[in-house]
A and B are shown apart, each in its own frame.
Chain A
Amino acid sequence: MKDVIIIGAGAVGCTIARELAFTRLDMLVLEKECDVAAGTTGRNSAVVHAGFNNRPGSLMARLCVEGSRGMEALCRELDVPYRKTGKALVAFDEEDMEILRKLKAQGEANGTRGLRLIGKEELERMVPGVGGIGGFYSPETAILDPFKYCIAMAENAAENGAEFRFEEEVTGIRREDGGFTVTTGKGEYRCRVLINSAGLYADKVSAMAGVNDYHIYPCRGEYFILDEVAEELLQMPVYPALKAGIGGLGVHLTPTVHGNIIVGPSAEYIDEADDYACTPPVMDKLWQEAQALLPTLKRRYVIGNYSGIRAKLAPENEGGYRDFVIREEEDCPGLINLVGIESPGLTASRPIALMVREMVGQRLPLVKKENAVRTHRFPPVFAKLAREEQERLIREDPEYGEIVCRCRRVTKAEIRQAIENPLGARSLSAVKYRAWATTGRCNGGYCLNRIVDMLVREYGMRPEEVTLRGPGSEMFSGEVK
């Protein structure tokens, strides 16, 4: 019998796992995919929101502001790339300006610091080429690497004793005296407290435990990924002033910690929570809106597309946002539900985890674990090091001399460390998100073959066992001969 089972290894589940792993609770995380960050956590804008978008008094507003304030220190502790860029919103007319004034007042009510309205010149200095009559500046807004954030949380939790099981989709939950029995495709597990952080499927998981109160409306957001042109074109996220109604923040441009720019997301209610398609009408519209925002963007910068899906509690005809649901269910004691954790869920994940920790504490004793480790370190990122450091690494391990991914200058040593990751995730995506290989402008044209070759020749996988994202996503049919 476990003390706690967490369903879903996204940012929310992993952050909860990390917080609880500082206690002596015995804990298991069940994830249906082959790795962490496989859901919405790996498919968003990666902005650390400062908290001015949300209704004062809501959980979203409070947890977002708290999360934003703690994020820099947290990322330092976990070795996660983070950069406080600030953020600009652009007004194109007086109506927009009025929206921004209201937004500023809302942010101030929420406790967001440093917000100010800016004139045309200052806006132009911050975001050259953007146009508009003026805008609004938030100095506290930041960007981070959501993959490494989630991976660091999970690895730190695992180091402190949390157990992770992948490719285990929860298909049934039985309530029993003093606990739950959770069924997956592979086995049955028992626990006292059950935490449902299943993201887009949190409504279904909740229903398995007999709590039918929720319905998630998946709402897709599509993105373009642009080449590493951020340094030249865009120092901070830029958003339009948002006219009321839609449940997103409007098509925006965001630099990433890797120097790319992402353009998006759109907002479109869809039927299936795993339909990550990119669709031509939406892509066309996205591009038009992006160019209206920043005319210096060129189509040839595009190196890819992706989409993420919002776990909305508000149906399409209602629009906008409903607040996060984070609660122990009265009708089902011991079940802690996290439902509708859409944006700013990434930003708010740590305060969410602390809230959940308190709830767990109502049921189980939270005894501090002696010698738990709080800090986490990733293997060095070769491309980011000073030259002397690079030379030292190559001397120590010649595989640092061998570049496998040329776009990102990722070395063989780093690919090896990614393949041998502590969580045991073994797919191309697992390597991609850890070493950030295959993510450049050649989309893996150079490194994909080399990585697969390592998996096959050095790790003994058969070609047909190599997957893009776990079982069912096999890349190859086998050997040629």
Chain B
Amino acid sequence: MERCDVLVLGAGPGGLAAAAAAKKAGAERAVLIDRDVRAGGILNQCIHDGFGLIRYGASISGPEYAAKALAEAEAAGVTLRLGLQAVSMTAQRTLLAQGKDGLVEFQAGSIVLATGCRERTRGAISVPGSRPAGIFTAGVLQNFVNVRNILCGKRVVILGSGDIGLIMARRLTLEGAHVEAVLEVMKEPGGLARNISQCLYDFGIPLYTSHTVSNIIGKRKLEAVEVSPVDDAMRPIPGRAWTVPCDALVLSVGLIPENEVALTAGVAVDEKGRGALTDEYLMTNLPGVFACGNCRKVMDLADYVSNQGTLAGENAAHFVQGEPLRTWNDRESSGMVKGLPAPGSVTCPICPNGCQIVIDPETGAVSGNRCPRGLSFAEQERIRPMRTLTTTLRVEGGPVPLVSVRSDRAIPRDDLQEAARRLKACCVRPPIRLGDCLAELEAGGVTVRMLAGEDVL
């Protein structure tokens, strides 16, 4: 039996922040466990930028964000235990985990749940048709493409306009696949305006709202999907379907909080959303058991998750010490603009406000920006849109097949695909350290440096 003051379950941004905060708040021993052998949670496969706008005042990639969060936890003196999968826990705050060294039992003064979420699947939404190879959820595919160097197919249809699906539309395009369409059964897309603008509009990928996949065709291997508009009850309208040949169907149809372990102890979860229910101190129905991040409620931005983790970790430490707890306000995590960008507007990506900025073509008058940075972005957008390029490079002779990279400056949007294509030929060898310049390329008349987003040793 291992004892600790605060035990944090899950080393994504929520758990890393919680463990660091618990330690800073005076917990003697704060243990952070994760089943993966690498800390960072889902961030490690999110190689695109847009993370860190709130916490670090810069737009960095998921792996870079994870590295920062990990460094903070390590600096705070958190005990990291990786490769340990929690299997069950009790209301008395014992927890059973399993790893290569055997089964480990913990007794904690308080526990913070930060187990993230999983994706809703085809099974859960009962997409009709056959069951061939070639159907993936967006997160699974993201992992294949960004981490394991495996590509699903060349002609892709995406069902659901969740953020991961939108992000994957861009990723697959940059990797040379053709995204035929993104379909959304609701009237409004589910993802952030920023992602619709930068992942679909930038590449001319059509978005069909009020449409769905009404049939999957192909007995062994996916051959095509049948696309139908839907009525108000979200049922396909008969006689209006058309067929889109494709070899991959990607589902981005929602995330479900992951609370398997919590449930074994009797943590109450929301009947519909499946998130762990907490009070204003982020404490669940079990005294001393807290929850933060996506296992509590799926959030749009990792930064918000970290903020929430920080509070949960601090409260967990204070719970053990018998100190008063602080309260969380859910409004602190809902600033982002969702759905279709306002017509004729550009979505400012500089900060999480995501202002919808409109420039009057006649008068040149700018409106909708809440600060001057948005003004210069919008002006640039009119002349020549500029984007950060994020992609991966092939690693030769390393423990992993790919390393994530981000351009150190924005390049012309219209050069993104060509730049990504040229980088495909590039191959690097370990040791690689976060921030190393791994490749240079000419774009928009300047030399752009591609910086490693993570260590590969």
Contacts and interface: CB of A to CB of B under 8 A. Distances in A.
A399 B133 CA distance: 28
Contact of A463 (B87, B151, B272): B151
A390 B247 contact: no
A257 B83 CA distance: 30
A122 interface: no
Q: Tell me which of B83, B85, B119, B216 has the highest count of chain A C-beta atoms within 10 A of its own C-beta.
A: B85
Given A274-B219, A395-B102, A401-B102, A479 B150 contact: yes
Q: Tell me which of A453, A456, A477 has the highest count of chain B C-beta atoms within 10 A of its own C-beta.
A: A477
A475 B151 contact: no
Given A304-B123, A391-B103, A445 B140 contact: yes
B137 A277 contact: no
Contacts, number: 149
Interface string A30-65: 000000000000000000000000000000000000
B100 A474 contact: no
A480 B98 contact: no
Interface in B205-224: 214-216, 219-221
Nearest to B104: A401
Contact of B221 (A274, A276, A472, A478): A472
B101 A401 contact: yes
B134 A475 contact: yes
B126 interface: yes
B140 A478 contact: no
A470 to B, nearest CB: 8
Q: Tell me which of A409, A453, A473 has the highest count of chain B C-beta atoms within 10 A of its own C-beta.
A: A473
A280 B127 CA distance: 8
A390 B148 CA distance: 30
B129 A225 contact: no
B139 A445 contact: yes
B353 interface: no
A278 B121 contact: no
A449 B126 contact: no
Contacts of B103: 387, 390-391, 394
Interface residues of A, number: 55
Interface in B110-141: 118-119, 121-124, 126, 128-134, 137, 139-140
A469 B144 contact: no
Contacts of B140: 444-445, 448-449
Contact of A278 (B119, B128, B236): B128
Contact of B100 (A402, A406, A468): A402
A102 B356 CA distance: 72
Q: Tell me which of A225, A394, A398, A401 has the highest count of chain B C-beta atoms within 10 A of its own C-beta.
A: A401
Given A305-B126, A472-B220, 4 more contacts: A279-B129, A391-B102, A441-B124, A477-B151
Interface of A: 224-225, 274-280, 283, 300, 302-306, 387, 390-391, 394-395, 398-399, 401-403, 406-407, 409, 441-446, 448-449, 452-453, 456, 463, 467-470, 472-481
23 contacts: A224-B126, A277-B128, A277-B129, A278-B129, A280-B214, A283-B126, A305-B123, A306-B131, A394-B103, A401-B99, A403-B85, A406-B260, A442-B118, A445-B137, A448-B140, A452-B148, A468-B133, A472-B221, A474-B133, A475-B152, A477-B152, A481-B393, A481-B424
